[in-house]
Amino acid sequence: MYLLIYTLYIIRHIHYTANVVLWGNCYLIYLIYIIYVINITMKLFISKLSEQYLFQN
């Protein structure tokens, strides 16, 4: 049962991705958004690491 739901989710995700690819503009915006989120996450992660490092020394 769980596997069926998971498969449906994957199919829906692939369908959504296909739709996004069809609209090139939307895909570009989606890509920029992902890069932006990763960038913020990395900055937060690095600042946390540097805080820990400074705290230890």
pLDDT tens digits along 33-55: 999 999 999 999 988 888 887 77
Mean pLDDT of the chain: 80
Helix-then-strand count for the chain, H and E? 2, 0
Q: How much is the pTM?
A: 0.43
Residue 56 buriedness (CB in 10 A; 0-12 / 13-18 / 19+): exposed
